[in-house]
Amino acid sequence: MRMTKDYIDELTYRIIGCAIEVHRQLGPGLIESVYEKCFERELEIRSINFKTQLWTPVHYKGVELETELKADVLIEDLILVELKAIEGILPVHHSQVITYMKLMQKPKGILINFNCTNIFKEGQKTFVNDLYKNLPRK
């Protein structure tokens, strides 16, 4: 399969749909690990391939360093998903997703915060980088 913006955008729609379903079932107020397990189950139900809690390599001046940096969910080896269950998203959380995308060389990232009233309107934000911008549309 050829990687395109359209494919990644459709996958993004499906991922956010999973988050909306988890939020619809559970509502806000739980800890992140509960949402993560339910989100993983929803991905499985919808036959979306993913990996969780991935050690993220940090290359510094030609050397790969061992760090404690872990990404929450990587979907179809394309989209990084960072999950939160916090009172409010801060700029540092945006930076975290963008940096993970850079370190892992992924074209898109999604930040999802389950501690909100409406996932679609206030609980998710997507990010793209040059890898995404340079892909063909179809």
| Rama region for 132: left / alpha / beta (φ>0; ψ in -120 to 50; rest) | alpha
CATH of the domain at 32: 3.40.1350
* 14 lies in some domain: yes
Report the pLDDT value the prediction gives residue 50, as an integer from 0 to 100: 97
pLDDT truncated to tens, each residue of the chain (138 aa)? 568 999 999 999 999 999 999 999 999 999 999 999 999 999 999 999 999 998 888 889 999 888 888 899 999 999 999 999 999 999 999 999 999 999 999 999 999 999 999 999 999 999 999 999 999 988
* 35 lies in some domain: yes
pTM of the model: 0.92
Report the pLDDT value the prediction gives residue 66, as an integer from 0 to 100: 82
The string of DSSP codes covering 46-96 is TT--EEEEEEPPEEETTEEEP---EEEEEETTTEEEEEE-SS---HHHHHH
User: In whole angstroms, what is the distance from residue 79 CA to residue 105 CA?
Assistant: 10
Q: Please state the φ and ψ torsions of residue 134, each to the nearest 5 degrees.
A: -90, 0
The total number of structural domains in the chain stands at 1
Q: Which domain holds residue 15?
A: 5-133
